[in-house]
Structure 1
Amino acid sequence: MNLSCRLAPALLLAAGLSVVLPAVHAAEDAAPAVKSDAVAEAYAALLERDYVYPEIGRRYAAAIRAGIAAGRYAPLAGDALATALEGDAQAVSPDGHLRVRPPAGAVAPGPVRRMMPDLVAIEQPGWIAPGIAFVRFNLFPDDAAVTAAAAKFMADHADARAVIFDIRTHRGGGIDQMDVIFPWLFDKPTRLVTMATRASVAETRGSPMDGAASMRPVAGAAGMATREHWATPNADARLRDAKVYVLTSSVTGSAAEHFALAMQHTRRATLVGAATAGANHFGGMEDLGGGFLAFIPVGRTYDPATGKDWEGGGVAPDIAVAPADALVRVLTDLGIGADDAKRLSDAHVPSAPMERRRGPQRVPAAAGSTSPGG
């Protein structure tokens, strides 16, 4: 999830899918030859300094340095080296955002995954039935036009008796679109979630939450820069009593999970579908040298009431149904007949998958870039 591209380089979040900035591509194109052990040591140093949990960061670094000492990385290059570094870190402690990307042209043949699929940010906004507004978000990008479109959707549907947010295919992003949605839905200032960033990152490059009016600095754990995300009502009260539903799936990740948790724990929305992806930790792409890049998770987002986040387990729905059936369930709950609900659901099938792909996956160097999260 990109919360929200305000760093240099920006910190990003994207549901276990990293996002690469244009400046990173430029560095990659001109990357000099670097020994594999030097790449590995750069990775170890970044994990030790900046990883969201200092103790785990030290364990990651120790494992990578043990690999260096054993000569594990010296004979490797390209995708093989990226795979080894990522795998050795994940073996210490799994993290949905921890990724190592090889240089351009270094990906081995076989199953691959784009770092950020080519997704349209907003799909099918409008009235799905009389009095019921519907919109699908696939991303929360760092894009003023998308933010304006989200704001327009809310204003154009301010007379709705119910609003359905479909985030079953949402891969992450930032808070800009959330911050034009939430003011319509709450009747008083409301704390949504808490976000904590390693102080080592906040002190040297700023917090990813700096500059956002909805983010309030608060005292937090030692070694962390902590902010709370707040919703402040606007002057239009029409949607404050509207029913709100959020459709989720195992693809729903990162910034989308932030949105889902905020709506759920404030009891402003009902989540319908499957548990989300479980990709909590936000961070950013770092240069390891030789064209290698690593996504280093440097912070986490959590429920301020419990202190718990969704890393690994995801955000559980209030009503558990197969994601493909989630819209039918919501529409029937809103009084739409079963046949009409099925017809409307069939007309609003997402263009992207609602289930995570299984099996071996590598991140290709030629992945498309965007400015979103996580």
Structure 2
Amino acid sequence: MQMTAASRQQLIDQLIKEVNSSYAFPDMAKKVETSLRQQQKRGAYDTMSSPQRLSEVLTDELQAVTRDRHLRVTYSKEMIEDRKSHDERSPEEVAGYLATMKSNNFGVERVERLPFNIGYLELRGFARATDAADTLAAAMTLVAHTNALIIDLRNNGGGDAAAVILLASYLFDKRTQLNDFYFREGNRTEQRWTADVVPGLRYGGTKPLYILTSKDTFSAAEDFTYALKNLKRATVVGETTGGGANQGDDKRLSPNFSLFLPLGRTISPVTGTNWEGVGVMPDVSVCARDASKTAQVAILTRMAASENDPDERRRLHERIAQLGAGATSSISCS
């Protein structure tokens, strides 16, 4: 497929139309239109016959104007079908989706009880809450009786907002507002609260909780981190996250082009804003590779400070010494 002047014009016109009608930030949508029209007048796209290259350039332009990493244009050699909701998928499509999720254990990569009864849960993604509920319940039940919990989101690129609410619901003793979500369509705002009842055992809201992050922590994983940090429920250890706060969906621009477009935005009841473009800053800034042992050292230090048994206190300090060597500032992370 080769792009022509007519097909480029049609693509950009449709792109501007979708951004203006649905983007979560109406004022920013107008800036996008202005920027793209200026680029057209300068002839910036005139020599682009490659559809792949054009999609990349348009994505760069959109993100440069908005600083929104969710916003992107994608080219496909195969014809793009209109996106179906989960409920509209065929039984075969649903079965394929579930098979993929099961092969990834619904994002639950690892559950472990570390020395001195510290729970550890590594999540690589937030699968749909309705599908992942049993697996998350099993994981949270396994760590329910630990004295402190580490949730590792260093390799978590996001997923389902409802799964974020479900996991957070295990970590509070009472119903708690996590955030608001503004939808451009209908100009409405939805409050998001933890659930009154969860399957399995609730961890509760008083035991120490640490969340591990990296620059690759993104989207729904940042949503979870941002909410629990600002509610003072968790201590965040690691690197500043990727900075993608605006949730959206794919819009078909043409038979071979689509646009992922944020349709709404998260608003913290604590900060009045979100982490878009800036990421979630950790409370304790270290290289991602050092985040786990840094969190463990913090937990064990607290335990040692309140431990009356001298033998147990000695064992705690021995473990701290084992873990404490070699941590580096995140400034020097490669």
* SS of residue in 2 equivalent to 1:334: helix
Does the C-alpha gap of structure 1 residues 75 and 288 become closer, same or farther in structure 2, counting only changes over 3 Å? Answer: farther
How many angstroms apart in 2 are the aligned matches of 1:192 and 1:50? Answer: 25
Offset at 1:164? 0.7
Displacement of 1:53 in angstroms is 1.1
**How do 1:209-224 residues align onto structure 2 when only pairs under 5 Å count?**
224=187
Structure-2 change in CA distance of 1:180 and 1:85 (3 Å): closer
SS at 1:127 equivalent: strand
> How far is the alpha carbon of 1:161 from its aligned partner?
1.0
What CA distance in whole angstroms lies between the structure 1 residues aligned with 2:75 and 2:324? 44
Does the 8 Å CA contact 1:119/1:139 hold for their aligned counterparts? no
Tell me if structure 1 keeps the 8 A contact 2:239–2:286: yes
Q: Distance in 1 between matches of 2:76 and 2:220?
A: 27
- Residue 179 of structure 2: aligned partner: 193
Change (3 A) 1:176 1:103: same
Cα-to-partner distance string for 1:77-130 (whole Å, 9 max, x where unaligned)? 31121122223323323211111111228xxxxxxxxxxxx9762211121224
- AA at the equivalent of 2:9: D
- Equivalent position amino acid for 1:338 in 2: I
| Paired residue type of 1:239 | G
**Equivalent residue in structure 1 for 2:320, among 335, 338, 343:** 338
- Partner of 2:11 in structure 1? 39
> For 2:141 and 2:110, how far apart are their aligned partners in 1?
16
Q: Which amino acid aligns with 1:226?
A: T
Give the aligned residue type for 1:259.
Answer: F
Q: Does 1:255 align with 2:220?
A: yes
Match of 2:65, as an amino acid? V
Counterpart for residue 54 of structure 1? 26
Secondary structure at 1:61 match in 2 = helix
Unaligned runs of 5+ in 1: 1-33, 106-117, 204-223, 346-353, 359-374
Could you state the TM-score of these two structures normalised by the residue count of structure 1?
A: 0.68
Matched position secondary structure for 2:271: coil
More helix by share: 2
Q: Does 1:98 align with 2:71?
A: yes
CA distance in 2, matches of 1:150, 1:38: 46
Stretch of structure 1 that moved more, 286-295 or 61-70: 61-70
Equivalent position of 1:283 in the other structure: 248
Structure 1 counterpart SS, 2:263 = strand
Summarize the Cα distance change of 1:136–1:232 in structure 2 as closer, same or farther, 3 Å threshold. Answer: same
1:268 partner amino acid: R
Give the whole-Å Cα distance in 1 for the aligned partners of 2:276 and 2:248.
14
Q: 1:331 Cα deviation (Å)?
A: 1.1
Could you say if the C-alpha distance between residues 290 and 302 of structure 1 is closer, same or farther in structure 2, counting changes exceeding 3 Å?
A: same
Q: Which residue of 2 aligns with 1:231?
A: 194
Match of 1:313 in 2: 278
What is the identity, as a one-letter code, of the residue corresponding to 1:137? L
8 Å CA contact retained: 1:159, 1:239: no
SS of residue matched to 2:20: helix
Quote the Cα distance in structure 2 between the aligned partners of 1:327 and 1:96: 27
- Tell whether the 8 Å contact from 2:179 to 2:267 is kept in structure 1 after alignment: yes
Is 1:147 the equivalent of 2:133? yes
How many Å separate the matches in 2 of 1:171 and 1:237? Answer: 25
Give the total of aligned pairs.
Answer: 283
Q: State the 1:234 CA deviation.
A: 3.5
Give the letter for the 2:260 counterpart.
F
Does the aligned pair in 2 maintain the 1:178–1:259 contact within 8 Å? yes
**1:184 maps to which of 170, 175, 179:** 170
- Residue by residue over 1:165-217, the C-alpha shift from the partner in whole angstroms, topping out at 9 and shown as x without a partner, is 00011101113333332232212211111111212xxx4xxxxxxxxxxxxxx
User: Which structure 2 residue ranges, 5 or more long, are not aligned?
Assistant: 1-5, 79-102, 301-315
1:87 and 1:242 map into 2 onto residues whose CA distance is 44
For 2:320, the aligned partner's letter is: A
Q: AA paired with 2:264?
A: G
Deviation at 1:139, TM superposition (A): 0.9
Distance 1:56 1:177 in 2: 29
C-alpha RMSD over aligned residues: 3.1
Contact 2:110–2:123 under 8 Å retained in 1: no
Residues in 1 aligned to 2:291 and 2:213: alpha-carbon distance in whole angstroms:
8
**Contact map agreement 1:151 1:180 (CA 8 A) in 2:** no
Q: Which position in structure 2 is the counterpart of 1:351?
A: none
Match of 1:134 in 2: 120
Aligned to 1:27: none
Query: How far apart, in 2, do the equivalents of 1:125 and 1:325 lie?
Result: 19
User: Which residue type is aligned with residue 166 of structure 2?
Assistant: V
1:51/1:297 contact within 8 Å kept: yes
Identity rate of aligned residues, in percent? Answer: 27
Q: Is the 8 A contact 2:239 2:281 kept in 1?
A: yes
